[in-house]
């Protein structure tokens, strides 16, 4: 039963992520009008909806979001099984805590995708069903640099660009989990 302690981190990430998303949804105006400065001009709360995946990327078809959500659900199950098996085999605790954070973040964003289209009525108007098409709530904005990219830069040239994306607690948990694994992989995977 000791190996289940890692799932408490997963549960904690999910709860904190969902509470923060609900607070933002019900108490903030969307976009720049509702922006709240937390630490000067570089860290703000900025409520937006993310229709796709990381960095707002989307699949091109009508069923892209549905496919992405189903893929996320399968990945969630696989990560959960891997975490459970690795915990039973007593892998390095740092690796297990990192995977638990990644799992919590994945579940937090899947909840948005599955349910928010119906519960918060935030599915795009052109989708076939609001189920599995909910938009993820993002709110943490590190405003390091914002400006226009030079015309010669591929893809972003001539467009307004922000150096850092707007993200949420689930995204942060995933990023931190992956970052810690990458930094300490030699120590975590000695066996």
Q: How open is the CA angle 65-155-163, to the nearest 5 degrees?
A: 85
93 phi, psi to nearest 5 deg: -60, -35
Q: Give the domain range for residue 76.
A: 2-188
- pLDDT at position 74: 94
CA atoms within 13 A on the CB side of 168: 33
Q: 41 — phi, psi (to 5°)?
A: -95, -5
Confidence of residue 160 (pLDDT cuts 50, 70, 90): confident
Q: What is the pTM of this model?
A: 0.86
Total domain count for the chain? 1
Under the banding of pLDDT at 50, 70 and 90, the label for residue 167 is very high
Q: What pLDDT, in 10s, does the model give residues 94-105?
A: 999 999 999 999
Per the residue annotation, which of 41, 112, 138, 143 is the catalytic one?
A: 138
Range with lowest mean pLDDT among 4-13, 106-115, 140-149: 140-149
DSSP character for 183? Answer: H
Q: Is 138 a catalytic residue?
A: yes
Is 151 known to be catalytic?
A: no
Alpha helices (H) in the chain, listed in sequence order: 5-27, 64-88, 93-111, 117-119, 169-188
């Amino acid at each position: 039963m000791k190996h289940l302690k890692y799932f408490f981190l997963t549960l904690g990430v999910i709860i904190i992520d969902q509470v923060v998303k609900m607070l933002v949804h019900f108490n903030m105006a969307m976009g720049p009008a509702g922006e709240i400065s937390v630490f000067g001009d570089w860290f703000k709360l900025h409520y937006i909806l993310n229709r796709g995946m990381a960095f707002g990327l989307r699949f091109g078809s009508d069923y892209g979001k549905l496919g992405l959500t189903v893929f996320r659900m399968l990945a969630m199950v696989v990560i959960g099984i891997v975490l459970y098996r690795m915990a039973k085999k007593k892998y390095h605790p740092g690796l297990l805590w990192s995977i638990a954070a990644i799992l919590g973040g994945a579940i937090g964003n899947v909840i948005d995708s599955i349910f928010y289209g119906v519960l918060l009525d935030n599915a795009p108007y052109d989708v076939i069903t609001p189920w599995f098409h909910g938009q993820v709530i993002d709110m943490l904005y590190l405003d390091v640099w914002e400006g226009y990219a030079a015309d010669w830069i591929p893809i972003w040239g001539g467009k307004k660009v922000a150096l850092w994306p707007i993200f949420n607690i689930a995204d942060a948990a995933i990023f931190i989990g992956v970052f810690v694994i990458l930094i300490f992989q030699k120590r975590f995977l000695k066996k």
